[in-house]
Structure 1
Amino acid sequence: MWLKRTIIGLVTAAMLVPGVSTQAAEGKFNMSYLYFGSTSTYVDSVDRTKNSLHVVSPDFFNLNTDGTLKLTTKLSTSFITEMHKRGVKVVPFLSNHWDRELGRKALQNREQLATQLADAMQKYNLDGVNVDLENLNEADRANYVDLVRLLRAKLPAQKEVSVAVAANPRGFQIGWHGSYDYKKLSDYSDYLMVMAYDENYSGDTTAGPVASDSFVKGSIQYALDQGVPRNKIVLGIPFFGRVWKSDGTMNGAGVSNSRVPELLAKYGGRVVYDAATKSAKATFTVKPTDEVLVIGSTRFTAGTYTLWFENETSIKEKLRLVEKYQLKGTGSWSLTQEADGTWDYYSRWLNGRYFEDTENHWAGNDILAMLDKGWMVGTAPLKFSPEKPLTRAQAAVILVKALGLEEQSAPSAGFRDVPANHWAKRHIDIAKQAGFISGLEYNLFAPEQNVSRQEMASMLARLLKIETQPSVGAPFVDVTDGWSFEAILAMKQEGILSGYEGGYFRPLAGTTRAEMASLMNRIAERLTTLP
């Protein structure tokens, strides 16, 4: 944790599986620490995470000089109650704030400390403890393990015991890295929160990333090599950066991600994304005539600065590693430090519910909305193929899902080109029975044929039971008559369909997956009211 060291006829195709709801009690594990701010702001800090957290770890536990438990003034029973209402567990962290002698006192009095912590769990209805003793060394290794063993023995099974451990991509066995016996600590704990940050730290004279790609991956691999089960590894994500001044008077001062935009806007910083380290970097110059900005205890006086920090791109890269290595989930240091918008994407990326080819796409929000509803999924892992055309089989599948008919059964529609082993046969049978999709001539369905825009209009108009209103003229310059005229007119009158530049509809053109995602999102509410 950086502060402590600083102190010191269609729908887009859905051929795979339905999506999963991203609620606090579902998906990959996600916890975060609460240190900054006051108890009065803690609830709001958690609420801003948009139901992304399973566990919050506040600053409720400190140590007395003799190593016994000291409750901080931040301990709040009302906060604990509010978190439990939200389904979020409260697991305070126990810290020695980088004080080696204080940490050793705690280990020497570990029997008493463990008993005090167990009593606190019961008295305040807490859900466990996150042990975060830092700056010890290899001499303390066995005692550290024994403290965690005692906690596991004294706490009820449903109470969490977790340990924050130093990132160790180089495999150091001495110094503060050596104080952690990863394997034995994991034997007695629910998980290890690997602090995969501070690669370059406060006081470091070399400017560099807080958590480069190789540093983070190396930290994960070390834990695995030590025999820690994958489902007991929680990847630490930094919500902060560090800044260096070119004259050497500032070396690695911490800056919350939330303050970075303000800092760069004020001094005209230039941001680049370093592909090699998968980290964000900015440089800026404070002129002698500029106002001095103060962030925490850091004053930005005249000079040139280099800032390494975490932005959306770099955090997403880290979140992807949870799925790649099949880890338990993530932890973050710390709430209130995250940049605006972090929780808009965090849970999706943590749980692999995103598409690489829809980032910044015009229909991106519609596509994700359909993914959430389970109506549409990808064409391959992390791929949605937004410009790929729909097929009739895909249309049947999605419409059945959208109408909630997937669990129904139906007699065989009898299409000669939809054999019993066709991937969409059951959905096609249901769609035919429901009457919103039909076959072609000669008892054929043409499941792999692309769906034209006029077919799509006809199918949805039939599904929504939309009728045309009195109108003068054609809906589009290229739709003046024909079998789909009434459906296209009705859909335009309802504001569901729009055309292209010049007033064209292009009725014979194929419907893309992105287009259908947009259409389905527009009619989603209507579908819920259908009889």
Structure 2
Amino acid sequence: MPEMKRWRKFVAILATAGILTIAASSEPQDALAQASSTQGKFNMSYMYFGSPSSYTSQVDKSGQTLDVVAPSYFHVNSDGSLELSDSLLASFIADMHQRGKRVVPFLSNDFDRSLGEKAIDNREALADQIVKAINDNNLDGIQFDIENVDAAYRDKYTELVKIIRGKLSSDKEVSVAVAANPTGTKQGWTGLYDYKALSDVSDYLMVMAYDESYPGDLTPGPVASLPFVEKSIQYAISQAPADKVVLGIPFYGRYWNQNAADNGAGVSAQTLSKLTQMYGGTVRFDTASQSPVASFTIRPTDEPFSINGSNLEPGDYTVWFENEQSLKEKLKLVSKYNLKGTGSWSLNQETADTWDYYGLWADGFYFTDVQQHWAKEAVLAAANRGWMLGTAADRFAPDAALTRAEAATIIVRALGLTGEAASSASFKDVPASHWAWQDIRIAKSSGLIQGISDERFAPDQIITREEMSMLLSRALHLTSQGGSAAAKSFSDVPAGSWSAEAIAAMSSNGLVDGYASGTFRPSASLTRAEMAALLSRAQPLLTK
């Protein structure tokens, strides 16, 4: 493997120097190579609300979290044929492909039973139309979202999906949104979905683990209580492989006003924030369902508030919804059951801070100190590769200085080295009780790193930025003339200093940027966040 060979050459040079250091970027910069979310769990989201011209900005708010976006492009005509939405924009598809994201529209019957039945009965002709639309518009597949059709169509629906899978090339996605089925029923429209058979002919099942309470439901209740969600997952993985199950996550709530007729109507999470603030509402957290509940009163004399073009009527409101606490608990289930990933309904309904934690929690890394950190994406990529872990279950300590012990451990993990280390590979300052004892012994006995003397390793000694620049530039054979850009000049790096050429080489190759003040701070320590960022930046050079 080319990557492994590069790493071995890199580590050999570090061993010769007797100090293990790895370079990292200094601060968040536009040039920072962002890690792809495909290193972790799969994440997709639906696109339904807002103007199609705003779709690109909606996706950009999610950063690197999403792999697939599913816009509402495919609908069913009254005769069961395909209706292509006017919202389809070639520019949006191109924007997504440029960002490394796939565009997989969902086919909807808009919860109309008759339309759903017509589509399934017209499956041969419909399949040809769908395949043509995908290929003509450079789309990346299809997700089926036929709902409210009786279980009598169960086998025919599976056959529709199977036909499409046979007609589309293997690089195109075929997935199916399935109703949550916590009781395992085969009746009603929930019984339409043969989880086992559908998983055999599709890439994954998107379990709609929400709408536990629904429009018209007279009793206020959670959209997706944790017990409901977990039971829905348990049924799904009893029928289909866990790596073909995607957990549906709601970005909305439902509101009730006993004086109104629209009980159970939907409200986005971001709209609810405005409502509670405007009407002095209160929020409590229901521990049984692990869901937040908001309450507020709209008086006849209050300023009106409009949702979907209609003003809310006066009265006492109860709203069950999702917030950071409840969503994090749901996201934890992805790792608990080793699911493929998540799907969310839908973009443009979430609050702005959702993407601060979404990818971390979906991937099983609960680092509260990284949620709004500039190096979040790089930290997540390093954690997903198993190269860097947290200092505790809920902490990564991104701004802590990197030590030699941590660096040795990172290298051992990156190379996948295991086994018993030679007994002679020991240091007096690294006793068997030291957390990195085994990794340091493995690194030493493998010829990857030396101590600062025969008897001392100095595990807690920090690494400076100029040390890492010198060593990494040597490891990758970088020169200031060999990069794609001119080297930056830093006011605190004199031309004649021992590290000047190495820092120039790192700069011209885009691995370091320095600080906004025009300084490099050569003697400053290297932080754990900077280490993670450099691993992302240097990866293209390491894999050439």
* TM, length-normalised to structure 1: 0.73
Q: Give the number of the structure whose alpha-carbon radius of gyration is greater.
A: 1
- Give the aligned partner of residue 96 of structure 1: 109
2: CA distance between counterparts of 1:523 and 1:259? 39
Contact 1:239 1:310 in 2 (8 A): yes
Residue 425 of structure 1: CA displacement? 2.6
SS of 2:438's partner is coil
- Give the aligned partner of residue 187 of structure 1: 200
Residue 376 of structure 1: CA displacement? 4.8
Residue 403 of structure 1: CA displacement? 11
1:66 to 62, 65, 79: 79
Matching of residues 96-495 of structure 1 within 5 Å: 96-225=109-238, 227-247=239-259, 249-355=261-367, 358=369, 376-378=388-390, 382-384=393-395, 395-399=403-407, 415=427, 422-425=438-441, 433=450, 438=452, 444-445=455-456
- Give the aligned partner of residue 56 of structure 1: 69
What per-residue deviation string (whole Å, max 9, x for no partner) do you get for residues 290-321 of structure 1?
10111214422321101111111111111111
- Give the aligned partner of residue 15 of structure 2: none
Q: Taking structure 1 as reference, are residues 523 and 195 closer, same or farther at Cα in structure 2, changes over 3 Å only?
A: closer
SS of 1:41's partner is helix
Contact 1:10 1:395 in 2 (8 A): no
1: CA distance between counterparts of 2:449 and 2:200? 56
Residue 178 of structure 1: CA displacement? 1.3
Residue 354 of structure 1: CA displacement? 2.5
Q: Taking structure 1 as reference, are residues 81 and 168 closer, same or farther at Cα in structure 2, changes over 3 Å only?
A: same
2: CA distance between counterparts of 1:232 and 1:214? 21
Q: How many residues align?
A: 446
Contact 2:37 2:381 in 1 (8 A): no
Q: Taking structure 1 as reference, are residues 298 and 199 closer, same or farther at Cα in structure 2, changes over 3 Å only?
A: farther
Residue 119 of structure 1: CA displacement? 1.2
Contact 1:354 1:368 in 2 (8 A): no
Contact 1:10 1:398 in 2 (8 A): no
What per-residue deviation string (whole Å, max 9, x for no partner) do you get for residues 79-124 of structure 1?
2122111111111111110111111111111110011111112111
Residue 351 of structure 1: CA displacement? 1.0
- Give the aligned partner of residue 30 of structure 1: 43
Contact 2:144 2:177 in 1 (8 A): yes
1: CA distance between counterparts of 2:382 and 2:152? 54
Higher relative CO (Cα under 8 Å, sequence separation at least 6) belongs to 2
2: CA distance between counterparts of 1:523 and 1:173? 52
- Give the aligned partner of residue 509 of structure 1: none
1: CA distance between counterparts of 2:118 and 2:312? 38
Residue 185 of structure 1: CA displacement? 1.1
Residue 289 of structure 1: CA displacement? 1.9
Q: Taking structure 1 as reference, are residues 248 and 398 closer, same or farther at Cα in structure 2, changes over 3 Å only?
A: same
Q: Taking structure 1 as reference, are residues 400 and 273 closer, same or farther at Cα in structure 2, changes over 3 Å only?
A: same
SS of 1:162's partner is strand
2: CA distance between counterparts of 1:181 and 1:115? 23
Residue 347 of structure 1: CA displacement? 1.0
Q: Taking structure 1 as reference, are residues 524 and 334 closer, same or farther at Cα in structure 2, changes over 3 Å only?
A: closer
SS of 2:162's partner is helix
SS of 2:297's partner is strand
Residue 60 of structure 1: CA displacement? 0.8
Contact 2:215 2:262 in 1 (8 A): no
2: CA distance between counterparts of 1:278 and 1:230? 24
Q: Taking structure 1 as reference, are residues 113 and 288 closer, same or farther at Cα in structure 2, changes over 3 Å only?
A: same
What per-residue deviation string (whole Å, max 9, x for no partner) do you get for residues 242-272 of structure 1?
0011335341110011211111110011111
SS of 2:39's partner is coil
2: CA distance between counterparts of 1:205 and 1:428? 68
Q: Which amino acid aligns with 2:308?
A: G
Q: Taking structure 1 as reference, are residues 330 and 495 closer, same or farther at Cα in structure 2, changes over 3 Å only?
A: same
Q: Taking structure 1 as reference, are residues 351 and 36 closer, same or farther at Cα in structure 2, changes over 3 Å only?
A: same
- Give the aligned partner of residue 471 of structure 1: none
Residue 447 of structure 1: CA displacement? 7.1
Residue 146 of structure 1: CA displacement? 1.0
Residue 413 of structure 1: CA displacement? 7.8
Per mean C-alpha deviation after superposition, the further-off stretch among 195-204 and 47-56 is 47-56
2: CA distance between counterparts of 1:367 and 1:284? 36
Q: Taking structure 1 as reference, are residues 402 and 181 closer, same or farther at Cα in structure 2, changes over 3 Å only?
A: closer
What per-residue deviation string (whole Å, max 9, x for no partner) do you get for residues 170-198 of structure 1?
22221111111111111111111110000
What per-residue deviation string (whole Å, max 9, x for no partner) do you get for residues 415-434 of structure 1?
3565998331355788975x
- Give the aligned partner of residue 507 of structure 2: none
Contact 2:389 2:396 in 1 (8 A): no
Contact 2:466 2:523 in 1 (8 A): no
Residue 139 of structure 1: CA displacement? 1.1
1: CA distance between counterparts of 2:201 and 2:72? 23
Q: Which amino acid aligns with 1:124?
A: N
2: CA distance between counterparts of 1:303 and 1:73? 39
Contact 1:64 1:70 in 2 (8 A): yes
Q: Which amino acid aligns with 1:188?
A: V
Contact 1:131 1:162 in 2 (8 A): yes
What per-residue deviation string (whole Å, max 9, x for no partner) do you get for residues 418-458 of structure 1?
5998331355788975xxx746xxx643878xx5xxx76xx
Q: Which runs of 5+ in 2 are unaligned?
A: 1-18, 22-32, 471-491, 493-520, 539-544
Residue 44 of structure 1: CA displacement? 1.1
1: CA distance between counterparts of 2:374 and 2:326? 21
What per-residue deviation string (whole Å, max 9, x for no partner) do you get for residues 226-257 of structure 1?
x2111111100011000011335341110011
Q: Taking structure 1 as reference, are residues 259 and 154 closer, same or farther at Cα in structure 2, changes over 3 Å only?
A: same
Residue 495 of structure 1: CA displacement? 12
Percent identity between matched residues is 46
Q: Which runs of 5+ in 1 are unaligned?
A: 1-8, 12-19, 469-493, 498-515
* TM, length-normalised to structure 2: 0.72
Contact 1:48 1:343 in 2 (8 A): yes
Contact 2:154 2:191 in 1 (8 A): yes
Q: Which amino acid aligns with 2:86?
A: T
